[in-house]
């Protein structure tokens, strides 16, 4: 197999890369990493010293590639398929990267902070993380009023970022009622076959998620 993906089926940043792989039918060996097992941590840290996943190993090019956005850029370049995820034009690509960063930095990261706080039992004040997610929801809803996908006419890197970020964030901060564009977009994203596949694979692991009871029944 040309590619190995080091990941966990429950991990949100891994979902982002899995969606890209499934969108373009890219074959890969799936290597589940148990961060609680010393041997697995040592193996992952040898690939990426921050010991975070996803990481892919491209055996033909002898390269390890880390960071979900960079991995998707890499796949788009070296494993192109029927759904290019980064547009060729500079302006369009800039827009896609902007929305990728928006979902990662202002939805995904604060969502992870809240989840980590619950896992560690640190009981920090999460008000600012929750407010950031709400600010992002408002911005995203506005964007989606005039854009069928997160960053334009086509499904892109930005939508790969959006799906796991919104999936987990909405278990912590529900989408406000007036955000009809965001709500409709979420339904459309969740119906995408690549996203459905990722969620189906995550399903057996959902009970490990500390906010499991907030996952809507349709995903269980």
Ligand X SMILES: N[C@@H](CCC(=O)N[C@@H](CS)C(=O)NCC(=O)O)C(=O)O
Which parts of this chain interact with ligand X (CB under 6 A)?
Answer: 11-14, 35, 51-54, 67-69
* Angle 68-13-17 from CA coordinates, rounded to 5°: 55
- CB-nearer residue toward ligand X: 68 or 132: 68
Closest to ligand X by CB, 53 vs 99, is: 53
* C-beta of 13 vs 149, nearer to ligand X: 13
For the CB of residue 44, give the shortest distance to ligand X in the complex, in Å: 8
Q: How many of the other CB atoms lie within 10 Å of CB of 105? A: 14
Q: Least separation, in Å, of the C-beta of 40 and ligand X?
A: 11
| Closest separation in Å from C-beta 217 to ligand X | 24
**171 vs 41: CA distance, rounded Å:** 28
Q: In the complex with ligand X, which residue's Cβ is closer, 13 or 167? A: 13
Query: How long is the chain?
Result: 220
Q: CA nearest 18: which of 92, 93, 75?
A: 75
CB of 208 to ligand X, least distance (A): 13
Task: Confirm if 15 and 163 have CB atoms less than 8 A apart.
Answer: yes
């Amino acid at each position: 197999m040309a590619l190995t993906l080091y990941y966990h089926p429950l991990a949100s940043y891994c979902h982002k890369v899995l969606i890209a792989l499934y969108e373009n039918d890219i074959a890969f060996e799936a290597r589940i990493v148990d961060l609680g097992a010393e041997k697995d941590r040592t193996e992952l840290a040898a690939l990426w010293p921050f010991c975070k996943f996803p990481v892919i190993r491209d055996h033909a090019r002898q390269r390890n590639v880390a960071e979900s956005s960079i991995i998707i850029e890499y796949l788009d370049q070296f494993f192109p398929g029927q759904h290019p995820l980064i547009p060729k034009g500079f302006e369009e690509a800039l827009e896609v990267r902007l929305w990728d960063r928006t979902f990662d930095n202002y939805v995904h990261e604060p969502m992870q902070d809240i989840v980590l706080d619950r896992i560690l039992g640190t009981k920090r004040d999460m008000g600012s993380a929750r407010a950031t997610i709400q600010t992002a929801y408002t911005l995203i809803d506005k964007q989606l009023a005039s854009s069928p996908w997160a960053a334009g006419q086509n499904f892109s890197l930005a939508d790969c970022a959006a799906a796991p970020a919104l999936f987990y964030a909405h278990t912590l901060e529900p989408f406000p009622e007036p955000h009809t564009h965001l709500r409709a977009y979420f339904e459309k994203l969740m119906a995408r076959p690549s996203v459905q596949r990722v969620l189906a694979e995550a399903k057996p692991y959902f009970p490990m998620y500390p906010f499991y009871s907030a996952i809507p029944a349709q995903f269980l």
